[in-house]
C-alpha cells in the first residue's frame, strides 16, 4: 500500500489549486477504501502503514495549502507594480500594472490592464 501513497504524493507536485488538492485527497480516500474493502481478512493490512499513509496525505495537503498562501501573499505584494505576463487571449508577452487580486474558479488571478490574468501567466517583474 505504500506505493499508493508515493504515487499520490508524487502526483501532487506543483498543484496550486484547492480543487486539485481536494481531488487528490478524494482519490486517496477512494483507493484506501477499495483496499480495505478487498483485503484478505486473514492477511489484513498493517494498521501502522495506514496511519503512516494518512499522515503523508495530511502533509501533502498542508504543503498545498502553504503554497497557495505563499502565492496569495506574492500576488498581493504585486498590487501597484508593473509586471510582464503572457496574455491568455493573444499569447503575446505584455506589460501592465497589477491593480487587483482575485480568486476565480479556485485559481488565483491578477487584474492587469482591466483584464483578469491567471497568476501562472506572470513571466517577470521588471
Tell me what the mean pLDDT of segment 94-102 comes to: 94
Q: Between the CA atoms of 113, 116, 118 and 123, what dihedral angle is there, to the nearest 10 degrees?
A: 0
Q: What pLDDT shows up at residue 21?
A: 66
Burial 72-104 (b: 16+ CB within 10 A, else e): eeebeebeeeebebeeeeeeeebebebeebeee
Q: What's the whole-model pTM score?
A: 0.57
Q: What pLDDT shows up at residue 12?
A: 31
Q: Is there a contact between 100 and 79 (Cβ–Cβ < 8 Å)?
A: yes
9-40 per-position pLDDT tens digit: 333 333 344 566 677 778 888 887 887 787 77
Amino acid at each position: 500500500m505504500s506505493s499508493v501513497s508515493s504515487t499520490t504524493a508524487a502526483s501532487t507536485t506543483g498543484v496550486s489549486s484547492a480543487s486539485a488538492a481536494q481531488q487528490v485527497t478524494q482519490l486517496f480516500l477512494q483507493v484506501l477504501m477499495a483496499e480495505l474493502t478487498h483485503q484478505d481478512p486473514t492477511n489484513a493490512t498493517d494498521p501502522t502503514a495506514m496511519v503512516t499513509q494518512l499522515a503523508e496525505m495530511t502533509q501533502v495537503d498542508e504543503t498545498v495549502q502553504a503554497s497557495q498562501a505563499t502565492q496569495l501573499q506574492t500576488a498581493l505584494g504585486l498590487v501597484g507594480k508593473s509586471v510582464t505576463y503572457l496574455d491568455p487571449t493573444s499569447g503575446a508577452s505584455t506589460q501592465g500594472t497589477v491593480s487587483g487580486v482575485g480568486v476565480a474558479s479556485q485559481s488565483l488571478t491578477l487584474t492587469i490592464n482591466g483584464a483578469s490574468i491567471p497568476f501562472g501567466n506572470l513571466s517577470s517583474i521588471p
